Amino acid sequence: MKRFTTRSYAMSATWIVLALVLLAAAAPAAAQKSKDKKKDQPTTDSPVDMNSVLPDSQVIDQTIGEALGYWQIGDVDSLHKYYADDVVVVSGLWEPPIIGWTNYLKAYEAQRASTQGQRMERSNTLIKVNGNSAWAAYQFVYSAMANEKVIQFHGHTTLILNKQGTHWVIVLNHSSVVDSAISNPVPAASAVLPGLH
């Protein structure tokens, strides 16, 4: 009986060792297979680039809206993402065109320093896409305070954009002022300014 017990114990130990060896060999293979499955499956954690999903005309409309938003709040770092380094800007005033982002930035900061509460409202936007180039035209109403007076301009802007990767950047910004109004004196502090809400 002792011999039977010793023999059973030895066989059981052999089977246990064999099972452990097989498990040890199978674990890396299973891990590799699991890793390969994860590679094949799309990750849901990475954000979807909406510019690659939306039609170009919608991406351009969104680009214009975001650029105007950053322009209004004075976020020049974010605004620069929407303008080419060699952008040409033609203002609605009688002045030479501005060439290049650096020169535009100087003019923008000077304008911003001389006004308060700048607001630009865009309407009637028309967008035409032709491959990696596009143009957009829209009407605008610009309102601000300057020298304790309310100023307001109505006009048109035409933008020419180029596609860089999945993003559109403005390479030409041309504005024309149709009419302007300056009201004096400044309304009471509690009054709502036109276009500034």
**pLDDT digits (tens), the chain, 197 positions:** 555 444 544 445 444 443 444 444 444 444 455 555 555 555 545 455 666 689 999 999 999 999 999 999 999 999 999 999 999 999 988 899 999 999 999 999 999 999 999 999 999 999 999 999 999 999 999 999 998 899 999 999 999 999 999 899 999 999 999 987 777 655 544 444 444 33
What is the distance between the alpha carbons of residues 51 and 2, in angstroms, rounded to a whole number?
79
Q: Specify the pTM.
A: 0.67
Residue type, 87: V
Query: Which tokens go with 168?
Result: 């559109």
Output the pLDDT for position 179: 86
What is the distance between the alpha carbons of residues 71 and 151, in angstroms, rounded to a whole number?
18
What is the distance between the alpha carbons of residues 111 and 115, in angstroms, rounded to a whole number?
6
DSSP 8-state symbol, 185 = S
Instruction: With residue 122 as reference, give the H or E element that holds it.
Output: strand 116-130
Between the two ends of the chain, the Cα-to-Cα distance in Å is: 99
